[in-house]
Amino acid sequence: MRSSTSVSDTSSARPLTIGERHARLRRATWALAIGCALVAGGLEVVARTGLDRASKIQRRMVAEYRSAVRIGQDGVHGRHLLVIGNSLLDEGVDFERLRGSLGDRFDARRYMVEQTVYYDWLYGLRRLFNEGARPDIVLVMLGTGHWLSPNIRGDYSAQYMMSRSDLPRVALDLGMHPTQASGLLFAGVSKFWGARTEMRTFVLRHIMPDLADFMNMSSAVDHRPMVTQDIEPVLASRIARLRAVTEAHGTQLVLLVPPLLNPDDGSDALMAAADANHVAVLRPVTSGTFGANLYRDGFHLNETGAAQFTERLIPVLLEEFATDPRLNAHRN
């Protein structure tokens, strides 16, 4: 550190007095503090005004969210079907094909957010309902592992999926440490903080377009076997909580099991837990049925796999909606 008693400055000819040096340092300190504040403030403005437009993923997600909030309220005829889920939905179901097959009888909309799990949607649906969404049916497509996950997507969920008023409950539900909980609360207030991972991803994808290939390869996969008697009670209680949220608004909850490459996907336990809660479950394709050639990365379906799964899903969905009296009880 420089001495504070004898200083010189390269920008001036004579040595500075201590008073002058302190005055300069005070100005520099303020400039640094203001500069940092401007960076933070500027990024908050960018996050609020630019991110959702600049990023294709964000654009799509925000559009789907807005559409989901209006479901059942914007005068579109037909039974209002809201399909929610994560990348298994995005890459496993050709949604345009599905919507076309359901025809005018259904007002089908999708709200997909990548890397989301059970708690994201428990509180995500609460926010959707609070903001006015009134679907007749909510179809949830999550893998059993996603149902069991003790986490959320992180700060992103706090900003984009959940109500601020729910965040303390989320922190309690997840048993968060006070440091994590305070970060979550902050993410609910600051869009920059909530979306900073997306901003970083946006920048890195421009620097390294192929980075996603490495991230896919290196992403953590839980290889622990799913023991039915262990997971069924957990699944049952989670399904019950989600059903309580939907039923409070007169909405029917239906689960859709994604077809995984690994046949030991725990979906039997999921179906049993749903059955115990009187919640309908659709499993058009049992995991392990499709060959590896129908998967992009051993987990997500590729285009061919998605087309085949969608073709199998459509009749199952139509049959379920045609025969299930609860689903046929159309609400006006």
- Please check whether residue 119 is in contact with residue 146, taking contact to mean a CB–CB distance below 8 angstroms: no
Mask: binding to another protein, 143-162, rule CB under 8 A, as x and -?
Answer: -----------xx-------
* Distance of alpha carbon 87 from alpha carbon 151, whole angstroms: 16
Q: Does 31 bind another protein (CB under 8 A)?
A: yes
Minimum CB distance to another protein, residue 162 (Å): 17
Which segment (38-46, 51-59, 241-249, 316-324) binds another protein by CB under 8 A? 38-46
Neighbours of 255 (CB within 10 A): 25
Instruction: Rank residues 33 and 227 by Cβ distance to another protein and give the closer one.
Output: 33
CB within 8 Å of 262: residues ≥ 6 apart: 287, 288
- Please check whether residue 279 is in contact with residue 255, taking contact to mean a CB–CB distance below 8 angstroms: yes
Minimum CB distance to another protein, residue 200 (Å): 6
Q: Does 305 bind another protein (CB under 8 A)?
A: no
Beta pairing class for 137-141 and 252-256 = parallel
Binder among 6, 15, 17, 32 for another protein (CB under 8 A): 32
Strands of the sheet containing 280-282, edge to edge, are: 106-112, 79-85, 137-141, 252-256, 280-282
Q: Does 329 bind another protein (CB under 8 A)?
A: no
Q: Does 63 bind another protein (CB under 8 A)?
A: no
Q: Among all chains, which residue has been given the structure tokens 């073709």?
A: 311
Q: Which residues contribute to the site for another protein (CB under 8 A)?
A: 1-2, 4, 9-11, 21-22, 24-29, 31-33, 35-36, 38-40, 43, 154-155, 177-180, 182-183, 186, 192-193, 196-197, 199-200, 203-204, 207-208, 210-211, 213-215, 217-221
